[in-house]
Structure 1
């Protein structure tokens, strides 16, 4: 049997070889010639593709993907990581006047955490998570043909605001000064929106305090929409206080302090997605009410649904200027494991994005935003949290583009 098979295979090989005949000489090709001829005619042979100049290997600047396009080799893993491959601008300098309308700015700060540190690396992690976003591919299936990077607003990455790594109070003042400097810039399209607006990537939640301080000169008290599993209105006597003034300022007390400083609108603020333990049976909730907050708990989404949640927020905020603060731990750990103080039972990424889009469609006047508490070291290999942060910022950007703002008269 085996000898017969060998003979059959040999005959088949011979028949194949005799087909590879040089037309000029009409002689069978040798085995080496047949192999060479096959390679030269296959996709693996070296061919003259007339490569375009843009395909010649070269270094890739930060904004390459934003302008080159997919067809010119501008894939998401190329280039130095700015957020969504946006142009980098030094937004704090007066030379940046009239060059941008919306800025993405990082606050690499985590000196205010009470549990797991590492959020100082959040801005870098978020930029990595946003690699597949880009002005050249900024349209999607959920926003009726709007590309927020290429609408009326000029959007840039402002980089990170440098702050002290060892002294919390010094760092907070540096963040406030940096934000005030950027907020003072004249927007590029002032006829559409009268002020520069910023989406800040943290950093721990303490950064909301210097941001609100910086915004106050322009907008006065604002309604804070606080997407978070925790209240963050804890009286410093309850969380970190009673020993030193230094310890009173942290990521769980900053909204209490903001209220005491007159930075919040009265009774128009809301917690959304709340679920957390309390330090006292009554005091924490009573103090939260005193700070002017209403609440939609995480589990209420199953009873209310998204449309009613959006309507409750709209009814409470009214015509106030809105500051949106998104702690990534508002999401369930299944969707955002990389955060410092995890609380199970949260919202899905889809639910959060849909609620934000609903607030945008309602026309609430957003003047600033942050996305905080992303701690990349706890993320998984798929970068689940970092990618979620990128999409949340993208959704907030849509809101800012959809709702231009005028300064208070």
Structure 2
């Protein structure tokens, strides 16, 4: 069937099709405007685990997402397709995560890896395997972008989007990152791992096409990260949770704060959303939770304002969703993913339908 024939016969009010792609949609990759690349990876985690299972948890929960979204009621008709991650990504994640644990344990005991040549060799191996992953992610992103698809990345831990940013940098001369997170992720080779989840934004700064990183919701950082910010000469801007809340307590609205955040971004923007940026009850099983944060609605409001601002959203990643005993984390991740797809589509001139206005009086 043609795409239009599928649209005409598909009932979006029914539960998602179990044998379909993400959100239960019936479209093929070729028929879909948005491609989601899952990256089930968490080799360098040193605290909570489970992020490598995040893409699968989001996929499973996505079938329960109602497609008639208030902001984007026609979004589903564009087609959203989740690509298949190569099987060796998850296999390597499990294998090299286990290899990394003795290294992390030695460092946590204050030991010098120079006295452990076997651990040094393992560290070099892990750094190479992580670099290989980022290269493969870059190639996969470019494969779909070269077919005029809008591409987003679904992690995995926060190390996973580096190849995605490299792909964007090969297409766009300059762009910025709107980074929502509890952490700055500006550590330099954290625990010796060049591609640590705690180093993603430091590694992003090594990409010259990334002109600015604007961080929102930050509430945990180290002295080294502060030094990186101070030495960035305005290339990294920080909106800590404490500063945003203080302004709110003193009367500044979230609308004004969003306008001010957006004004500091360059014309082209990629969104990077670590789920731990939100209050912990939205993602109780995420790997490195920190008290404080922002709400689901605050995040979606910021994205909506960005989409309407005249800036160009060139992509996004959503990372650090980790499933627990229930499907709550995946449920929150799936709904945020759907909203972010709507923001990306609408900002890029695709027809997502007119927002639904409900009678309130």
So what's the TM-score if we normalise by structure 1? 0.67
Shift in CA distance, 147/211, structure 1 to aligned 2, threshold 3 Å? same
Greater share of helix: 2
In structure 1, the gaps of 5 or more residues are 1-63, 189-194, 242-246
Alignment partner of 1:240 is 2:191: yes
CA distance in 2, matches of 1:112, 1:75: 37
Match of 2:25 among 66, 86, 90: 86
CA distance in 1, matches of 2:80, 2:146: 11
Instruction: Give runs of aligned pairs for residues 8-407 of structure 1, distance below 5 A.
Output: 68-69=10-11, 74-76=14-16, 79-80=18-19, 82-87=21-26, 89=28, 96=30, 99-133=31-65, 138-141=67-70, 143=71, 146-150=73-77, 153-162=78-87, 163=89, 164-165=92-93, 166-167=95-96, 168=126, 169-185=128-144, 195-236=148-189, 239-241=190-192, 247-265=193-211, 268-276=212-220, 278-280=221-223, 283-291=224-232, 292-299=235-242, 300-301=244-245, 302-303=248-249, 304-319=252-267, 321-377=268-324, 380-381=325-326, 383-404=327-348
Contact residue 25 and residue 79 of structure 2 kept, 8 A: no
CA distance in 2, matches of 1:161, 1:305: 45
CA-based RMSD of the aligned residues comes to 2.7
Contact residue 169 and residue 210 of structure 2 kept, 8 A: no
CA distance in 1, matches of 2:26, 2:154: 17
In structure 2, the gaps of 5 or more residues are 1-5, 97-125, 350-361
Q: Secondary structure at the match of 1:156?
A: strand
CA distance in 2, matches of 1:81, 1:116: 31
Q: Which of the pair has more CA radius of gyration?
A: 1
CA distance in 1, matches of 2:7, 2:279: 32
Task: State the Cα deviation string for residues 151-194 of structure 1 (Å, max 9, x = none).
Answer: xx443222324423335432442343244234244677xxxxxx
Shift in CA distance, 256/178, structure 1 to aligned 2, threshold 3 Å? closer
Shift in CA distance, 70/180, structure 1 to aligned 2, threshold 3 Å? closer
CA distance in 1, matches of 2:154, 2:134: 12
So what's the TM-score if we normalise by structure 2? 0.76
Contact residue 65 and residue 85 of structure 1 kept, 8 A: no
| Number of equivalences | 303
Shift in CA distance, 186/323, structure 1 to aligned 2, threshold 3 Å? closer
